[in-house]
Chains A and B, each alone.
Chain A
Amino acid sequence: MSMIVRVKQKQIAELMSTGRRLDGRDLNEYRQIGMEMGFVEKAEGSARVLLGKTEVLVGIKIEVGEPFPDTPSEGVLTVSAELVPLASPLFEPGPPNENAIELARVVDRGVRESKAIDLEKLCLEPGKRVLVVFIDVYVLNHDGNLIDASALAALAALVNAKMPKYEIEEGEIKVKPGYIPLPIRNHPIAVTFAKINGKLAIDPSLEEEQVMDARLTITIEKDGKICSIQKGETGHFSMEQVLQAAKIAREKAVDLRKLVAKA
């Protein structure tokens, strides 16, 4: 942790007790969000999301593969996350560490549990061939709250994704000309809180994350239901705080979802 952060730590915590933040935001205010769809033309779907200075690129590739034995007539969804070394001095090359794995799994749960992709429409030949949707989260600049930025980019990329027209003819897979949109039927939105000095702050910056005691991510579906939760870090929450966070998340998700629809 850098010295500047050490010096700021106390200030961040003290400000928080009066409901203020170092960058002047309210406790329930997101940083400015930017979104660019279709950034990578080679990918079937992609989106680049800026959350303040945090930058995440998500690319979606769609390939033909085998279904899981317990869901023979459903397509397959896999989510991976790379904390690319160019994104932060804290990241190192190598296989994904527990932070990258947690990030991927939290994004995965939001998409999977909200049934955002209609996987049954991705079946080509039950038990044999289905479409596999690879969501790859690529963190390009780390300035805090990678979960919300990644979940938003993943959703934007899914909405933007087009899949080739596959058809089975005499047991052979044929690719027909043209593309059709990926069947998306839900828009899960992740909303993350940091607990600092006993207070909850939405969308923590990196400096705030380095001071936070605990983290809570609540993913909300389009009908306002919760579809996934993840508590992180070594602090704790009270029951009241958890419920308060859930209610704020439900409100915030509405605004964030509009951004995806507009882009």
Chain B
Amino acid sequence: MRLFIKRLSLFILFGLLSFFIFFISINSFLNTKADFKLDSNVKSLILGHSHPERAYNDTLIPFTKNLSGAAESYLYTLAKTRKIIEQNPQIKFVLIECSNNQFSREMDNWTWGNKMSNRLHIYSPFLKTNEIKLLFTKNPKLFIEATSVLFRKSFEKILSSNYNYTNKIGGYSWNDLKLEKAPETGNQIQSEFETSLTNINFLKKIISFLNSKKIEVFLIRTPTLKAYNNNYSENQYQKIIKSEFSHTEFLDLSKYNMNYSNYGDSQHMNGQGAKEFSLWFSKLLNKNLLKKKDKQLFINNEIKARTHNKVLW
């Protein structure tokens, strides 16, 4: 019995060590092989979660690539950004979505909650040791489950010799849903939300990384319907923007008014809405938005100037 327990413990130890070595090897192998190359004419990137993913149809916005991914928190955006910038030195501008919900506690769940298994297998090779440690300590059970998916997907990746990541890390997503009626706006009382310091810190890290690479960074806020915005206090949001990101330019596009029928739900534009909004946004870029002195004033004036100021929400 003693021999059995001794050998079993030794085997478990050997097994854990092998898993650890395998984890490191697979990550470093994929990190070396990963292909994040974009078209050489892409000069601007749009990053963020599902709001920009559904809003910026990059086929209508010249020299721009939308690489936003649904339900993506800033930790994974950071991992993505490092690799894209490393392999695409032509990038000059990065626009990062920064909407109210991205400061809320909900983002912690996006980072190490159930969504981890959908993210870790893509981004694990590009995460730093302390970032992996954070995920493990915050949710060891889900981390192990997500590692299982990572191993499986990596096997498949290696078997198919397909190391291209550009079509796996996000991109404009056509949404053909259509809201049938304007959603209820509720009692207009905007609720205070618990903040996610982790997500805020990772956003800061993205900005600081891009700054170190001499890339211009802009925080943007994509339009959503008022009914959705009521879920998160605007005052609290503005406070965070002013206190934590005062050195980064903030372009608030959320006042861009669109009929509810241009939305698939209260927070995501549908294909039709994205087309209209992207064409308008493209015009702004053509008018040198990113070089203007007072960009927000310019945006506000452009919004006002829109002729089809119809009934909105």
Instruction: Judge: A and B partners, yes or no.
Output: no
Residues of B participating in the A interface, judged by any CB pair closer than 8 Å: none
Residues of A participating in the B interface, judged by any CB pair closer than 8 Å: none
